[in-house]
Amino acid sequence: MRSAWVWIAGMGALLMAPAAMARVCAVSIDSTDQMTFSSREIKLAADCSEVNLTLRHTGKLAATAMGHNWVLTRTADYQAVAMVGMRGTLADSYVPKADPRVLAHTKVIGGGQSTTLRFPTTLLRKGGDYTFFCSFPGHFAMMKGKLTFG
Ligand code: ZN
């Protein structure tokens, strides 16, 4: 009987291994009617394989007046992407379409809403320099922060 239990425990460990390697890291960030994010820095641990990001808008203003999204680019690309994005539309979340500089982004939300985004960290290089920002017209200068991986 004893050896049977050991075998079952061993099988369990083998089955668990792939799940343990795929680590989903949860990140949540709030945005406000005062055109701010609640964090200026997001640190992802080196063993995160995926990011599950939740953006909340804790204000009351509509998406058309004070909409917010969360866009991730390399820091070198962020201003250029923000400039193109602000010439876009709310339907496009003020994000340039099919632009490889946009690593990940949420849709634009208004007060009281939230949205979730999941992306793999294979998009990111360890030690790379990344900036997250809101691409709603006029927001990127105030609503931005640094993202680090590893
Ligand atoms: Zn915004």
**Can you tell me the mean pLDDT for 109-129?**
97
pLDDT band at residue 1, thresholds of 50, 70 and 90? very low
Q: How many angstroms does the Cα of residue 19 sit away from the middle of ligand 1?
A: 35
Q: Which helix (H) or strand (E) holds 16?
A: helix 2-21
Structure tokens at 10: 């061993």
In the chain, where are the structural domains located? 23-149
E strand segments, the chain: 24-31, 41-44, 50-57, 71-74, 104-105, 114-120, 130-133, 144-149
Q: How many angstroms does the Cα of residue 26 sit away from the middle of ligand 1?
A: 21
Q: Which helix (H) or strand (E) holds 80?
A: helix 78-85
Residue 68: DSSP 8-state? B
Residue 124's CB: how many other CB atoms inside 10 A?
21
Q: Which residue has the tokens 């320099």?
A: 129
Task: Judge whether residue 10 has pLDDT over 60.
Answer: no
Greater pLDDT, 21 or 25 = 25
The pLDDT tens digits of the residues spanning 35-86 come to 999 999 999 999 999 999 999 999 999 999 999 999 999 999 999 999 999 9
**Best CATH choice for the domain 23-149 from the list 2.70.50.30, 1.10.760.10, 3.90.1300.10, 2.60.40.420:** 2.60.40.420
pLDDT band at residue 20, thresholds of 50, 70 and 90? low
Greater pLDDT, 12 or 70 = 70
Residues 98, 50, 132, 30, CA torsion sign:
positive
**Can you tell me the mean pLDDT for 3-25?**
59
Q: How many angstroms does the Cα of residue 117 sit away from the middle of ligand 1?
A: 16
Q: How far apart are CA 29 and CA 89, in angstroms?
A: 23
The per-residue pLDDT for 22 is: 84
> What percent of the chain is modeled with pLDDT above 90?
85
Q: How many angstroms does the Cα of residue 21 sit away from the middle of ligand 1?
A: 35
Q: How many angstroms does the Cα of residue 60 sit away from the middle of ligand 1?
A: 13
Q: How many angstroms does the Cα of residue 143 sit away from the middle of ligand 1?
A: 6
Amino acid at 149: F
